[in-house]
Chains A and B, each alone.
Chain A
Amino acid sequence: MDDATPTPEGCVSCGRALKPESAFCGDCGHRRGEPPVDRAAKVKVRLDRVRRIESGWGGIRAVIFFYVGLLLGQAASMLVAHATNEFTADLGGTAILAAIILLAASMNRDAFPPGRGAGFGPRGYGLVFLAAIPIVLVVAVYVHGLSRLFPIPTQSYLEPYQGRSPAWAYFLVAVAPAFFEELAFRGVIFGLLRRSLNPRETILLSAVAFGLLHLSVPMLLTHVPLGIYLGWLRHRSGSLYPSMVAHFLHNAFVVTAEVWALGPGWLSS
């Protein structure tokens, strides 16, 4: 070879010799003339995707087991009702479910949204308050329609609290469910599903779980849409507080309407 023969051009990505007529490097596939590719970054992207997929599936499995745990908690509270009375069952059931939910939330950082502030300003919370009124009215009309269609005597929400302070009714029907159910459905389940699903699917599936856990097929028609609304609040605000407030308002209005319908002396009788 004489001194005038030029040194073959090397690939900028892998350094191997490139033939003059080649458009691509035969060893790494890099296109001639393009800037070098960060191979380590490409491998990292691929590994991150695999990890994300596996983590997403782990989240789905956790949702299924968590949901079954909540169902068994509900079943346990019904067994307590058979053995004692309904008030003790409500109290015990709330305690059992609260323990399961707090345990799951403590093991799953996705339960707590990244923006832990109030979520909405005063105007937003004002709209949440106003929205609670038509929601309660629609549910009341639906329940009334059901009772006309199927004239079966049903128990009042407040039956277990007769003879006790109304504060118990508000605590166990309005406050505790608003806090713990939101932590469970819009916290734990929403966070786990959001690892791998888009917001729309996450809101829908968490609402389906919320509706089903109330163990009433007729009430699915109200609880699933309510769950969608609460899920949307969680997604829009980036916080659990708006959905907790909306849930509390809904349940508190129901209790207040029931107290008003039964008469003020009923609870203390």
Chain B
Amino acid sequence: MDGRCTSCGSAGPPPGPTIRCPKCRASVEKGKKYCEQCGAKIPTRADRIRAMNRSRERQENLKNVNRGRVIILVVAVFTLLAAGISYFSGMSDVEQQIREADRAFSGLSSTERDERMKETTGMTWQEAVDQDRGRVKLQGAILAALAVIFLALWWWAQTNPFGAALSALLLYVTVTLIGAMVDPASLLQGIIIKGLIVAGLFSAVSAGYRERQRRRPA
């Protein structure tokens, strides 16, 4: 009469249409939101759509984070190439200028040469040569250091994509502006690529932030 088995007394499945609990597989009356045996939430159609949207959003975030990492690596590689080209071509130009200047001063003693140099540049021959070579070395070293920093950020992005992307974005914008202050025409060179890099890094910052918030406990 009360739905129990007269022989063993067990309650048996609920009357009416039922579904299976996704966690403990017990029978649950249709329309119930939670399993009465284990308390697990019975997903509704709206829950399934929400879960699908969350999964799609997560895929999008991970795609943006990975794209950010790729951008940082590409910038690092190109900066390293620029360092090499700047150093070798700069040094070649400087050595050429030194050879030409040497030819122009041929026949003069080293003291006379230093006096001539001081009249025009305020420096001795050796000081001028060291300065020119030093300028090329410094430029190459700066570009190489930047490449190393971007490579370190690419490596850091494996564990902390948000922090790495934000640092890379600030560094890239700063370096681009320094380049523009030294040579204003350089700002327009490759402006579309620069814009894409900034946009890509900005999305990586946003995606990295949302991923870290998703992983944090509520």
* Chain A complexes with chain B: yes
Residues of chain A touching chain B, judged by Cβ–Cβ distance below 8 Å, are: 19, 21-29, 31, 45-46, 49, 53, 56-57, 60, 64, 67-68, 71-72, 74-75, 78, 149-153, 196, 201, 204-205, 208-209, 212-213, 215, 217-218, 220
> Do A150 and B213 have beta carbons less than 8 Å apart?
no
Q: Are A151 and B131 in contact (CB under 8 A)?
A: yes
Given A26-B29, A217-B146, residue A152 in contact with residue B135 (CB < 8 A): yes
Considering the chains assembled together, what is the distance between the CA atoms of A46 and B217 in angstroms? 11
Is B43 an interface position by the 8 A CB rule?
no
Which residues 3-26 of B sit at the A interface, judged by CB distance below 8 A? 11
- B81 contacts partner chain A, Cβ-Cβ < 8 Å: no
A26 pairs with B205, CB closer than 8 A: no
Partner of A29, one of B41, B135, B171: B41
Residues of chain A within 8 A (CB-CB) of B145 are 217-218, 220
What residue in chain B is nearest A31 (Cβ atoms)? B39
Q: A19-B36, A28-B34, A196-B213 are in contact. Are A75 and B142 (CB under 8 A)?
A: no
Say whether A29 contacts B209, CB under 8 Å. Answer: no
Contact residues of B between 22 and 51, Cβ < 8 Å to A:
28-29, 32-39, 41
B residues touching A (Cβ–Cβ < 8 Å)? 11, 28-29, 32-39, 41, 127, 130-131, 134-135, 137-138, 141-142, 145-146, 149, 160, 163, 166-167, 169-171, 173-175, 177-178, 180-181, 202, 205-206, 209-210, 213, 218
- Residue in contact with B38 in the complex, picked from A24, A46, A212, CB distance below 8 Å: A24
B34 A205 Cβ-Cβ under 8 A:
no
Docked-complex contact B209 and A57, CB < 8 angstroms: yes
Give 9 closest A-B pairs by Cβ, nearest first. Answer: A26-B32, A29-B34, A22-B36, A24-B39, A150-B138, A150-B134, A212-B174, A21-B11, A26-B36
Tell me which of B29, B135, B175, B209 contacts A60 (CB under 8 A): B209
Evaluate contact between B209 and A196: CB separation under 8 angstroms.
yes
| Beyond A151-B127, A152-B138, 6 extra complex contacts between A and B, CB < 8 Å | A29-B34, A75-B181, A149-B137, A152-B131, A196-B213, A205-B167
**Residues on the B chain within 8 Å of A149, using CB:** 137
Question: A209 near B36 (CB under 8 angstroms)?
Answer: no
Contact of B33 with A215 in the complex, beta carbons under 8 Å:
no
Option from A26, A68, A71, A153 in Cβ contact (under 8 Å) with B33: A26
24 residue pairs of the A-B complex, CB under 8 angstroms, read A21-B11, A23-B36, A24-B34, A24-B36, A25-B34, A25-B36, A26-B28, A26-B32, A26-B34, A26-B35, A29-B41, A45-B218, A46-B218, A57-B210, A64-B170, A64-B202, A67-B170, A153-B131, A196-B209, A208-B167, A212-B171, A213-B174, A217-B146, A218-B138
A224 to chain B, nearest CB (A): 10
Pairwise interchain contact A217-B35, C-beta atoms closer than 8 A:
no
The distance in angstroms between the C-alpha atoms of A68 and B176, with both chains bound, is: 12
- Are the C-beta atoms of A27 and B34 separated by less than 8 Å? yes
